[in-house]
A and B are shown apart, each in its own frame.
Chain A
C-alpha cells in the first residue's frame, strides 16, 4: 500500500531558459505516456516538482493548456530545492505531482474586459491565462496587461513580452522600478500599483494580479481606489505546501487550505480571512 497522491510521476527536462539572473524556466515532458495523455489542467493550478532525493517544492504551471506536449515552470533560486532545480541540465529527470488547487475563472468572464497586473516572477501564474485569453480573444472586450519588475534584467518571458507589445489586441504597459531602467528602456518607470492607477482601466473589468506580497497588497488598494468590486479582483496566493491535498496543515490560513480551497482567491474571499498573507 502506498499513498498514490504523494507519489510523483517522472518528467524529463526538455528545455531550459534563463529568464533573469536568478530565474530559470524549465520545459518538462512526462515520461509516462498514459499520464501524459490523461493530463489536463486549468490556468491557476499548481504542481509540486521534486529533485530526486533533495525534496519537493510548489510551482504554478506557467504554460497554457493549449501547449499540449509539455508544461513549463519558472523557478527562482531561493532555497535548497530551487537551487537543485537550477543545477539540472537538459535531459535530467524530475518528479512531478499535480495539477492541484483551483483555477482562475475563464468562461465566467466572457464578454468582459480583463486587466492583468503582474510583478516580477508573479507573471508566471498569469502567463497561461493570458495566452488562454488571447486564444479566445473575440470572447473578451479589452485586455490590459501591466507588468513590471525591479529592473530591466528582472523582467521574465522576454519573448512573450515582445509578442504582446507588438499585438494590438492587448494593451500592454511595461514598467520597471525607479533606477531599474537602462538606456534602451522604452517602457514606464514606476511601481506597478502607480502604473495601474495611471493606466486606469475601467472599473467594471476583472482584475487578476500576482506578484511579490507587497506589490499585491498595494495593487489591491489601487484596485479599490479605482472602484473595482472586491469580487472582481482576483489573486493567487503562494504558501508553503507539503501534501498539496489539504491535509498537512502547512498552507492553512483561516479556515481555508490554500492548496485545496485556493490558490486562486478573490479579494472578497480574502477579506474574510485573517491577514496572514
Chain B
C-alpha cells in the first residue's frame, strides 16, 4: 500500500481540509479516556493511542431514527452530510467491516447505512497505549489497521506515517499534496518497531486467553458446557455489553402517529432481553438468561463466522468495561476452552 509521511505541523493543515469536507469527528484524549467528539468541541487533535470508550456504530447506525413515513408518496428528505472520523482504532475498523456484511450484503441493502458509508472518510490509527482489557490479537486482529480504512496514521517521531487504504484516501492525498512527503525507510522501520512492541504487549496480556484452535471449533463442542451457567450468575440482563458492542446491530421497529400519517422508527435492541424473541403466542426460543448469554458468544464467534468468514468480536474489550456484573468475556471463553 501507498505510504507517506506528514509532520505534526503539517497535519494541522489537513484538519482544516477535513473540516471543510463535512462534519469531522475526532478521537480525543481527556485524562485517561478517549472519546469520539465533534472537532468543534475539542479544537485540536492529539494522537488518541487507544480506541475511544464508545464504538463508532452510532455514526453509521443511529440509536433511534425515523426510517419511513407512510402513507405518502413523498420521501422525507434527510440530507446525510459527508463526515470524517479521525481516530478509528483497528478494532473499530474491523467492526465496520462486520456491519458492512449485515447491512450491505444480500438482496436488502440498508440505504441509510449505505449512504453514511459512502459519505464517510475513515482515518485509522495504530494503537500505542492498549488498555488492559484489549484482546484483539486473539480475535484474528492486530492493534493496527491493515485494511478497510481510507487513511491510517502511525505515530512516529515528529509526525505520522500515513498509509492509503482506498480511492477515497488517495483523493485526500491528491488534494493535500503539499503536506504529504515520501515515507523513508527510517519512518517505516520506526512504525514497524512500534507496531511490534504494542502487539507484543497485547499478546502478552492475552496469552492466558489464547484459544487452542479456531473459536468455531471450540464452540462446536461447548454448547452444553457448564461454564455458561457459572458465568451468567452475576448478569443482570442490562444489555450494556450489547449496546456498547461495536458489531451488535439488532434493532426493533415501531410506528408512531404523526397527524394522518405514521412514522416508522428504528431503535437499537438487544438479544439479552427476555422478550426479545418471544412471540405473542408465548413461545420463546431462548427463555432462560443463560441461553441468551450464550447466544451472544455463539453469534460473535460461531454463527457470524459461519456466514461471513471472520469473528464478529473485535477484541475491543468494551463489554468487559461496561459490565456491572464483572463478566469478562476472555475469562468466560477461557473456561469454555478448558473443558
- Given the known A-B contacts A240-B279, A247-B103, A248-B252, are A3 and B111 also in contact in the complex, defined by CB atoms under 8 Å? yes
Contact with A along B288-326 (1 / 0, CB 8 A): 000100000011001110110000000000000000000
Q: Which residue of B lies closest to A54 (CB)?
A: B255
Interface residues of A (CB under 8 A from B): 1-8, 10, 50, 52-57, 76, 78-82, 95, 213, 238-240, 242-243, 245-255, 260, 274, 276-277
Contact of B286 among A56, A213, A276 (CB under 8 A): A276
Contact of A2 among B68, B107, B256, B286 (CB under 8 A): B68
Give the chain A neighbours of B283 by CB distance below 8 A: 213, 238
Q: For the complex, give the distance between the alpha carbons of A55 and B110 in Å.
A: 21
Q: For the complex, give the distance between the alpha carbons of A80 and B255 in Å.
A: 13
The verdict on B278 contacting chain A, using a C-beta distance below 8 Å, is yes
Across the interface, do A248 and B251 meet the contact criterion of CB distance under 8 Å? yes
The verdict on B233 contacting chain A, using a C-beta distance below 8 Å, is no
Besides A55-B255, A240-B276, 18 other CB < 8 A contacts? A2-B75, A2-B111, A6-B253, A6-B264, A7-B70, A50-B255, A52-B255, A55-B254, A56-B253, A79-B281, A213-B283, A242-B253, A245-B108, A250-B271, A252-B271, A260-B106, A274-B298, A276-B286
The verdict on B67 contacting chain A, using a C-beta distance below 8 Å, is yes
Give the chain A neighbours of B22 by CB distance below 8 A: none
* Interface of A: prevailing SS: loop
Give the chain B neighbours of A254 by CB distance below 8 A: 298, 303
Contact of A242 among B75, B251, B285 (CB under 8 A): B251
Across the interface, do A7 and B264 meet the contact criterion of CB distance under 8 Å? yes
Across the interface, do A238 and B67 meet the contact criterion of CB distance under 8 Å? no
Give the chain B neighbours of A250 by CB distance below 8 A: 250, 252, 269, 271, 276-277
Across the interface, do B285 and A239 meet the contact criterion of CB distance under 8 Å? yes
The verdict on B280 contacting chain A, using a C-beta distance below 8 Å, is yes
Measured CB to CB, the closest approach of chain B to A33, in angstroms, equals: 14
Across the interface, do A78 and B255 meet the contact criterion of CB distance under 8 Å? no
Give the chain A neighbours of B264 by CB distance below 8 A: 3, 6-7
Q: Which residue of A lies closest to B254 (CB)?
A: A55
Q: Number of residues in B with C-beta < 8 Å to the partner?
A: 52
Q: For the complex, give the distance between the alpha carbons of A250 and B270 in Å.
A: 9
Across the interface, do B280 and A5 meet the contact criterion of CB distance under 8 Å? no
Q: Which residue of B lies closest to A256 (CB)?
A: B303
Contact of A6 among B67, B115, B280 (CB under 8 A): B67
Across the interface, do B106 and A246 meet the contact criterion of CB distance under 8 Å? yes
Contact of A80 among B115, B280, B298 (CB under 8 A): B280
Across the interface, do B277 and A240 meet the contact criterion of CB distance under 8 Å? yes
Within 8 A of A (CB), among B65-81: 67-71, 75-78, 80
Across the interface, do B108 and A249 meet the contact criterion of CB distance under 8 Å? no
25 A/B residue pairs, CB under 8 Å, sorted by A: A1-B75, A1-B80, A1-B115, A2-B68, A3-B112, A7-B68, A7-B70, A7-B264, A52-B262, A53-B256, A53-B262, A57-B280, A78-B281, A239-B279, A240-B279, A242-B252, A247-B102, A247-B249, A248-B250, A248-B253, A250-B252, A251-B277, A255-B302, A255-B304, A276-B286
Give the chain A neighbours of B78 by CB distance below 8 A: 1
Give the chain A neighbours of B103 by CB distance below 8 A: 247
Give the chain A neighbours of B277 by CB distance below 8 A: 239-240, 250-252
- Given the known A-B contacts A8-B70, A79-B280, are A1 and B111 also in contact in the complex, defined by CB atoms under 8 Å? yes
Give the chain A neighbours of B77 by CB distance below 8 A: 1
The verdict on B257 contacting chain A, using a C-beta distance below 8 Å, is yes
The verdict on B223 contacting chain A, using a C-beta distance below 8 Å, is yes
Interface residues of B (CB under 8 A from A): 67-71, 75-78, 80, 102-103, 106-108, 110-112, 115, 223, 249-257, 262, 264, 266, 269, 271, 276-283, 285-286, 291, 298-299, 302-304, 306-307
Measured CB to CB, the closest approach of chain A to B244, in angstroms, equals: 16
Give the chain B neighbours of A240 by CB distance below 8 A: 276-279
Q: Which residue of B lies closest to A272 (CB)?
A: B306
Give the chain A neighbours of B286 by CB distance below 8 A: 276
Across the interface, do B70 and A249 meet the contact criterion of CB distance under 8 Å? no
- Given the known A-B contacts A6-B264, A246-B106, are A255 and B250 also in contact in the complex, defined by CB atoms under 8 Å? no
Q: For the complex, give the distance between the alpha carbons of A64 and B276 in Å.
A: 32
Give the chain A neighbours of B299 by CB distance below 8 A: 252
Contact of B108 among A7, A246, A251 (CB under 8 A): A246
Across the interface, do B251 and A249 meet the contact criterion of CB distance under 8 Å? yes
Give the chain A neighbours of B307 by CB distance below 8 A: 255
Give the chain B neighbours of A249 by CB distance below 8 A: 249-251, 269, 271
